């Protein structure tokens, strides 16, 4: 692969990690970049099975990110209502936050949405304001933890790719 191709290859790997906090599935960009590199080099260093491993990691971390808010809402005393509120609220918050402030709104909307969603549905279910606040806080921490986990996994993916390429 020529120098320009390598520059773009590494640039897209870095972009894949950097855009994760802003609500974009950067792990899939990393997988696509590795796949394109493999195609360009006849899968000499980056094999199809390695790309499959990267894809499995990307899918797994997406699930972790999606459900960590719900799991922490439950750990903080939430019911299934609070867990559902965390998932639905996180998604809706990101969707609503994106047009308000395309990059930061997605991130903050997801965190705040998980909090409000868990708090609201838990409060509707139990009528216990104190517990609902606690559950909402757990959902917020879970959403934050999910995002951090996704960034860490993306960095690990880039390191794995770097080890293969060099």
Tens digit of each residue's pLDDT (9 = 90 or more) over 41-51: 999 999 999 99
The model carries a pTM of 0.87
> 28: exposed, middle or buried (C-beta count within 10 Å: 0-12, 13-18, 19+)?
middle
Instruction: Give the number of domains in the chain.
Output: 1
What would the pLDDT profile of 108-142 be if each residue is shown by its tens digit?
Answer: 999 999 999 999 999 999 999 999 999 999 999 99
Find the angle CA(69)-CA(75)-CA(77) to the nearest 5 degrees.
110
Contact 100, 86 (CB under 8 A): no
**Contact 114/90 with Cβ under 8 angstroms?**
yes
Please check whether residue 154 is in contact with residue 16, taking contact to mean a CB–CB distance below 8 angstroms.
Answer: yes
Domain ranges, residue 71:
3-165
């Amino acid at each position: 692969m020529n120098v320009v191709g390598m520059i773009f290859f590494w640039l897209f790997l870095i972009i894949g990690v950097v855009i994760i906090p802003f609500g974009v599935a950067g792990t899939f960009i990393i997988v696509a970049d590795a796949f394109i590199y493999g195609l360009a080099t006849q899968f000499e260093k980056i094999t199809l099975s390695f790309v499959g491993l990267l894809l499995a990691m990307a899918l797994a971390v997406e699930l972790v990110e999606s459900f960590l808010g719900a799991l922490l809402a439950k750990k903080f005393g939430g019911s299934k209502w609070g867990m559902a509120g965390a998932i639905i609220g996180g998604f809706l918050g990101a969707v609503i936050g994106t047009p308000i402030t395309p990059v930061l709104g997605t991130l903050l909307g997801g965190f705040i949405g998980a909090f409000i969603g868990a708090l609201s549905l838990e409060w509707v279910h139990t009528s216990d304001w104190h517990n609902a606040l606690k559950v909402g806080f757990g959902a917020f921490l879970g959403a934050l933890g999910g995002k951090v986990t996704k960034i860490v996994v993306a960095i690990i993916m880039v390191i794995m790719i770097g080890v293969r390429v060099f």
